[in-house]
Amino acid sequence: MAGFSLYRRYITGSTETEAEAQGYQPVNGTENGVEDDHDAESIRSSTPINPAAKAMMLNSAERLPLTGFRLGLLSLPAICDICGTTLMNIGLLFVVPSIYQMTRGALVLFVGLFSVIFLRRRLHLFQWFALITVVLGVGIVGLAGAIYKEKGPPAALLLIRDTIAVVAREARTPEALRTIIGVLLIAGAQIFTAGQFVVEEYILEKYALEPLKVVGWEGIFGFSVTVLGMIILHLAIGRTEAGRYGYFDLVEGWRQITHFKAVGVSSILIMISIG
């Protein structure tokens, strides 16, 4: 829009608005017997329309303003997001990135189930078929990661033929057990992520708040809960002999971020990508 306005003003020499270029002519009216020029002012106004305010006008009679203590409802999706992200990152320690990314596909199933159970949505037969297909694909990928450890994807027929015989034998190995634990953690994380989506939809259907404020308040609640949880876990576990240099040791975590460039840079890049 800015580039088009500059082009129109300095290249073509035209200062007409888009409506005027299409032949619209502002007209004057009268209000309480006094002539006004509101129509001309509105068509020539350069003040942009706030899309957030425009969204607030939809269903305004049915949605309550999200103010005061009601803002605390936004802490629920923030907590779900923290739990889901934490479980996914822990699960990533046990599996390779390809299995991690594929297992995240289970999210659509949980979102569909929660939408039907809690939001009373109705899914058609083809939608259920799509959800089941995705879940079967996720299950096959997770099973392949637990059974096969050689490089390169196994043949589909070999996977189907050997599944029953190999699961009983190979699932007992430490590598397969780690993969199974990782897949279960990542799949469990999708429950929290799906809960986040469903809770957000429920809140925003009932209450009205500008989208940027929703993001801001969720960020504040998420940051506060994260800092509080880190302090509690450090005092309870991280500073003990068993927990030292572990996941909940704040001192060790800060040392790694400040002393290892790769860790510090990747942390900043992750925050930017999420933002």
| pLDDT above 80 for 122 | yes
Give yes or no: residues 189 and 219 share one domain: no
Say if 139 falls within a structural domain: yes
Give yes or no: residues 158 and 216 share one domain: no
CA dist., res. 37 & res. 21, Å (int): 19
Q: What is the DSSP string of 72-96?
A: GGGHHHHHHHHHHHHHHHHHHTTS-
CA dist., res. 42 & res. 24, Å (int): 12
Give yes or no: residues 105 and 175 share one domain: yes
Give yes or no: residues 184 and 275 share one domain: no
Q: How many domains does the chain fold into?
A: 2
Give yes or no: residues 131 and 253 share one domain: no
The answer to whether residues 249 and 234 touch, using CB atoms and an 8 Å cutoff, is yes
Give yes or no: residues 229 and 131 share one domain: no
Higher-pLDDT residue of 157 and 239 is 239
Higher-pLDDT residue of 185 and 14 is 185
Give yes or no: residues 161 and 204 share one domain: yes
Select from 191, 198, 203, 206 the least CA-distant residue to 118: 198
The answer to whether residues 148 and 154 touch, using CB atoms and an 8 Å cutoff, is yes
Give yes or no: residues 198 and 251 share one domain: no
| Share above pLDDT 70 across residues of the chain, in percent, rounded to a whole number | 66
Give yes or no: residues 170 and 227 share one domain: no
pLDDT band, very low/low/confident/very high, at 168 (cuts 50, 70, 90): very low
pLDDT band, very low/low/confident/very high, at 165 (cuts 50, 70, 90): very low
**End position of a domain, from candidates 186, 208, 230:** 208
Threshold 0.85, pTM exceeds: no
The predicted structure's pLDDT at residue 199: 92
Say if 66 falls within a structural domain: no
171-220 pLDDT, tens digit per residue, is 455 777 888 888 889 988 999 999 999 999 999 888 888 888 888 999 99
13: helix, strand or coil: coil
Range list of H helices, 171-248: 174-206, 211-233
pLDDT band, very low/low/confident/very high, at 102 (cuts 50, 70, 90): confident
**End position of a domain, from candidates 161, 187, 208:** 208
pLDDT band, very low/low/confident/very high, at 156 (cuts 50, 70, 90): very low
Give yes or no: residues 230 and 204 share one domain: no
Say if 27 falls within a structural domain: no
Sign of CA dihedral 88, 92, 97, 102: negative
40-62 pLDDT, tens digit per residue, is 555 455 555 554 444 454 455 57
169-179 pLDDT, tens digit per residue, is 544 557 778 88
The predicted structure's pLDDT at residue 103: 79
| Share above pLDDT 90 across residues of the chain, in percent, rounded to a whole number | 18
| pLDDT above 70 for 93 | yes
The answer to whether residues 211 and 124 touch, using CB atoms and an 8 Å cutoff, is no
Say if 18 falls within a structural domain: no
Burial of 77 by CB count in 10 Å (0-12 exposed, 13-18 middle, 19+ buried)?
buried
Give yes or no: residues 245 and 161 share one domain: no
Say if 259 falls within a structural domain: yes
Distant-in-sequence, close-in-space partners of 87: CB < 8 Å, separation ≥ 6:
185, 186, 188, 189, 192
Instruction: Output the six-digit token pair for 45.
Output: 């106004």
Say if 178 falls within a structural domain: yes
Mean pLDDT of the chain: 75
Higher-pLDDT residue of 138 and 204 is 204
DSSP category for residue 150: S
Higher-pLDDT residue of 156 and 249 is 249
Instruction: Output the six-digit token pair for 13.
Output: 């020499």
| pLDDT above 50 for 84 | yes
Domain holding 84, by residue range, is 75-208
| Residue 208: its H or E element | strand 207-208
The predicted structure's pLDDT at residue 164: 42
Give yes or no: residues 164 and 224 share one domain: no
The predicted structure's pLDDT at residue 75: 92
**End position of a domain, from candidates 175, 208, 241:** 208
* Mean pLDDT within 6-31: 56
Backbone angles phi, psi at 207, to 5 degrees: -125, 150
